Structure 1
Amino acid sequence: MVRVVQAPARTEQDATAALLADRYGRRTAGGGRRLRARILIAALAVAGIAVLAWIAVDMFAPSVESRDVGFHVVDSESVRVTFDVTKPAERSAVCTLEALSTGYGQVGLLQVEIGPQVADTVRITAEVATSEEATTGLVRACTFTD
């Protein structure tokens, strides 16, 4: 006995799909590309949000700032530096003072510790010992110690 197998008849949906494929072309296997693109976009979005969060936290973090007010060359062995420090009153900081010569070479260095104060901004005067006569004295940087 011979068995005859017939191809299943096309349904209306198959006919529509064939008509659209003939008109617009067959679909390619581009689903993998779309998935990779979506994963890349999601990863970039997460990285962008992380950067924005880091910037926001850094903007609102307390900081210590200094402003040079003036200096006075006492003699060939010292210079007096006056500066303002703004920081949260309850925090401690250390400021590095620098004395410079006419050629902008460093001739003196001093670290001044500033403990908790009653006000956020304080004016401090400190004397920096020098190895030769200085022509200026200034604050290099201030940082928190706690």
Structure 2
Amino acid sequence: MTSAPAGEGTSARAHAGATDVSALLAERYGRSADQEGRSRRQMWMVAAACTAAGLVVLVLISITLLRPAATARDVGFAVPDEAQVRVIFDVTKPADRSAVCTVEALNTGFGQVGLLDVVIPPSDGPTTRHTVAVATTELATTGVVRECALLD
């Protein structure tokens, strides 16, 4: 009788036993080694897609935050009569750009009683002070800058 070298029979049985165990586990839990490989590839593909989407979002946020803007700060107001209100405000913007600011007059119930768009031309410095008179339809109790935006 010919016998196999000492290590061959044992490793063949171990391999057959491992296959049996894999088949038993796949049958019991419904997943094979082939399916695990596909699942792992799918996981990496989803992770890569999420990473790419995250990078796109970060780039868009960076572009938005780095874009120059025009901002206004209310300094004061005066109501000389019931036909107008004078609004004093500071505008900060790039010195070489023009902006438009919307100034509104409000009554005691915060209803709008006057509105004026003011063009702010390029200036020597980034912050400039402006005083404008807004015509009103009734007595205003305050005047504020609603918003400012850069002109193209």
- TM-score bucket of the superposed structures, by smaller chain: 0.7 to 0.9
**SS of equivalent to 2:123:** coil
> Which residue does the alignment assign to 1:85?
91
Q: Work out the percentage of aligned pairs sharing the same amino acid.
A: 47
Once the two structures are superposed, the pairs formed by residues 61-80 of structure 1 within 5 Å of their partners are 61-80=67-86
User: Which deviations, in whole Å up to 9, do the C-alpha atoms of 1:12-41 show, x marking residues without a partner?
Assistant: 876553232334545703132222222111
- Aligned residue in 2 for 1:124: 130
Give 1:19's match in structure 2, choosing from 14, 17, 20: 17
Write the distance in 1 (CA, Å) between the matches of 2:20 and 2:140.
Answer: 88
Paired residue type of 1:21? T
Residues 14 and 58 of structure 1: CA distance in aligned 2, closer, same or farther (over 3 Å): farther
Instruction: Report how many aligned residue pairs link the two structures.
Output: 137
Question: Cα 1:36–1:68, aligned 2, differ >3 Å: closer, same or farther?
Answer: same
Q: Would the alpha carbon gap of residues 21 and 113 (structure 1) be closer, same or farther in structure 2, given more than 3 Å must change?
A: same
Q: SS state of the match for residue 74, structure 2? A: strand
- Among 15, 37, 47, the alignment partner of 1:41 is 47
User: Shift in Å at residue 57 of structure 1?
Assistant: 1.8
Structure 2 unaligned spans of 5+: 1-7
Give, as a single letter, the amino acid of the residue that structure 2 aligns with 1:20. A
Amino acid at match of 1:122: T
Q: Write out per-residue CA displacement over residues 97-144 of structure 1, whole angstroms, 9 at most, x where no aligned residue.
A: 000001111000000001111110000000000000100000000001
**Alpha-carbon distance change, 20 to 91 in structure 1, aligned in 2, over 3 angstroms:** same
TM-score, length basis structure 1: 0.85
Letter in 2 for 1:124: H
Which structure: greater helix fraction? 2
TM-score w.r.t. length of structure 2: 0.81
Distance 1:20 1:104, change over 3 A: same
Partners of 1:15 and 1:41 in 2: CA distance: 40
SS, match of residue 81 in structure 1: strand
